[in-house]
Chains A and B, each alone.
Chain A
Amino acid sequence: MATLDLKAINKSFGTAKVLHDIDLAIQDREFVVFVGPSGCGKSTLLRIIAGLEEATSGKIVIDGQDVSTAHPVDRGISMVFQSYALYPHLTVFENIAFPLRVQKLQPTELNARVAKAAEILQLSDKLKLKPGQLSGGQRQRVAIGRSIVRNPKVFLFDEPLSNLDAALRGDMRVELSQLHRELDATMVYVTHDQVEAMTMADRIVVLNGGKVEQFGTPMELYHHPATKFVASFIGQPNMNLVPGTIKEMTPDGPVVALAGGHTMTIPVEATTAHVGSKVEVGIRPEDVDLGTDGLEVSIRVLERLGGASITYGSIGDGTAFRASLSGNAPVREGETVHLTVDPAACHVFDADGRVLRRQAAPGLVA
């Protein structure tokens, strides 16, 4: 049982302000992923939660207790580092047992706990080896093993998969999700990879420039991004952003003239915009279809992935436009095609990059 609350966390290194008023309430047994571009402050925030770094101001509350100045062990956290941070001179057994040795645990209890961790992580036959004799994935598991023997309340992971190759990363993603279910623990996971965030998280925190852009479930972030930043960060290939101008307000939403000449009535609540406002219309590549009218897109590069065909091109005024079409879509490089767009699938962002609320709400259970 562990909830984790961050209250108005600020952090500066000298004059550089790295984190701005971070407020988060993480629930018991939740798997929360911090995602954002490199340098946005993810690791710093995680290290503040761990107690490796002190916040300039703000509070860390675990299970209702203010632990802002407590030692990591007393906070009940454990951490897995990006570099694994295994002790190269100790065996796998001793690496996993390290936190228990520090606690001076009884040998029988210690052996039992290490054996259990090793079993969960399929390391039972590797206990006598040194980290140098293991593969990347096995080292990763040893690092996780060391974090679970202490039965912490909150697990912290800093980009644990970024040193692994793509195939192994996929496997480890599944293993970590499974581990989360088995341990029934609260986990905070840092990554810059939106795929990891989308696949593993119960809820995602999108960080940008030291600020929380949005905190929500993967589907909320996908269907209802709060800002242009979140919209373009979540989803592969990236969302298209087409400049446009509001021509008219109707009860069904604003009528937007897109760059390149297409006009659509988009069902959003135009509270912060008015006729004449410059907006950007977000269209996901997977939300368009080949058709006879709609956006006119000239295709520069075509990638056939088998299941899907990704096209890279531009619309009339030169704005880049990506589309994800069916695997055998009848298109060729150098061709100009019409792509139809369902206005209800579009996102509209005002000049500040904030979203105009969508009237229809796909993917959200009311």
Chain B
Amino acid sequence: MMDRYTKLQMAGIYFAITIFLIFILLPFFEMFMTSLRPLEHLFRSPYQFWSDDFSFDAYSQMWVTVPLLGRYILNSIFIATSVTAITMVFVIPAAYAYARLDFPFKSASLAIFLGVNMFTGAVLLIPLYRVLRTLGLLNTYWAMIVPGVAFLIPTGIWLLRSYLEKIPRELEEAAYVDGASRMYTLRRVVLPLAVPGLIVVGVAVFIGAYAQQFLFAITFNQQRELQPLPAGLYEFIGYQSVTWNEMMAAALVGVLPVMVIFLFLQKYLVAGLTAGAVKE
């Protein structure tokens, strides 16, 4: 057991946590406050933190200003969900192979996967554009899904592989001795035991997919109806004015699904991210 902390140390720890949380949460708080203010308050000088005409008007007005807002939010969720599903289809067998099988260039290819992660999508935008044009995928959902999947597979493999490696090898050997094929063992033994790991990887991929949509959407897609939320938010920038309060309201509503997922799966996330850090 680790020593208990003294009162002073506890105070220090909480102080540090508080600073950290403020740093992380302040933008969200400011977004929320902005969304509550009438537009003209935003430009008031001097800046007034509190005012008595806060309202949720922006939350209803935003649907009028940008009529396709609902569609954008659904697009975001649809794209992120598709990316996650397709990524998992590739990641599960690949991670299992890296965790259990021996094949030539195993560590070299794994290193290359990590290397791919070093490139941000931005560096590869032009080549990707040409590839997607050749394949005739520009201005479709696929234009945003395919690159998303490609960039998230490496992360997924790395995360899931380390999780699968912790499943005792003897379980698979027992299944093998009893006549089970690799696929049967994967389906009946390995995957059920890997559910927490799958959830962690799935959530990580989903969040990644949600975050990276913007870049792919504004470069590879001109179709208004297919745009995800981050690109759709641009429509709050009008010819004369920017309706900041409605934009913030829309952004918050758009982030909501991710937050909800986090809250529900938090237990698994904490366990999954720390698992493997210590050898049992």
Contacts and interface: CB of A to CB of B under 8 A. Distances in A.
Interface stretch (A74-82, A183-191, A249-257, A278-286): A74-82
B173 interface: yes
Given A89-B192, A102-B184, A83 B168 contact: yes
A87 B177 contact: no
A83 B170 CA distance: 8
B13 interface: no
Max count, chain A CB within 10 A of own CB: residue among B168, B170, B175, B189 = B170
Nearest to B179: A73
Contact of B179 (A72, A81, A82, A83): A72
Contacts of B193: 87-89
A99 B176 CA distance: 10
B3 interface: no
Contact of B174 (A51, A77, A81, A103): A81
Contact of B180 (A78, A79, A102): A102
Interface string B188-207: 11001100000000000000
A134 interface: no
A172 B151 CA distance: 54
Interface residues of B, number: 16
A146 interface: yes
Contact of A87 (B173, B179, B189): B189
Contact of A103 (B168, B171, B179): B179
B179 A85 contact: no
A72 B177 contact: yes
Q: Which interface residue of B174, B180, B189 has the most chain A CB atoms within 10 A? A: B174
A72 B170 contact: no
Contacts of A51: 177
Contacts of A71: 179
Contact of B168 (A72, A79, A85, A98): A85
Nearest to A51: B177
B178 A146 contact: yes
Contacts of A52: 173, 176-177
Contacts of A79: 174, 177
The DSSP consensus for interface residues of chain B is helix
A49 to B, nearest CB: 11
B177 A50 contact: yes
Contacts of A358: none
Nearest to B175: A98
Contacts of B173: 52, 81, 85
A99 B178 contact: yes
A85 B178 contact: no
Contacts of B179: 71-73, 99, 102-103
Interface string A8-52: 000000000000000000000000000000000000000000111
Contacts of A228: none
A269 B71 CA distance: 98
A102 B178 contact: yes
Contacts of A150: 178
Nearest to B178: A99
A83 to B, nearest CB: 5
A51 B178 CA distance: 11
Given A89-B192, A89-B193, A78 B171 contact: no
A82 B192 CA distance: 22
A216 B178 CA distance: 31
Most chain A CB within 10 A, of B168, B173, B179, is at B179
Interface in A103-144: 103
Interface in A58-100: 71-73, 77-79, 81-83, 85, 87-89, 98-99
Nearest to B195: A89
A85 B192 contact: no
Pick the 9 closest A-B CB pairs, nearest first.
A99-B178, A85-B174, A73-B179, A85-B170, A72-B177, A102-B179, A89-B192, A102-B180, A81-B170
22 contacts: A51-B177, A52-B177, A72-B176, A77-B177, A81-B170, A81-B173, A81-B174, A82-B170, A83-B168, A83-B170, A85-B171, A85-B173, A85-B174, A87-B188, A87-B189, A87-B193, A88-B193, A98-B178, A99-B178, A102-B178, A102-B179, A146-B178
Given A78-B178, A83-B168, 11 more contacts: A71-B179, A77-B177, A81-B173, A81-B174, A85-B170, A85-B174, A87-B188, A87-B193, A98-B178, A102-B178, A146-B174
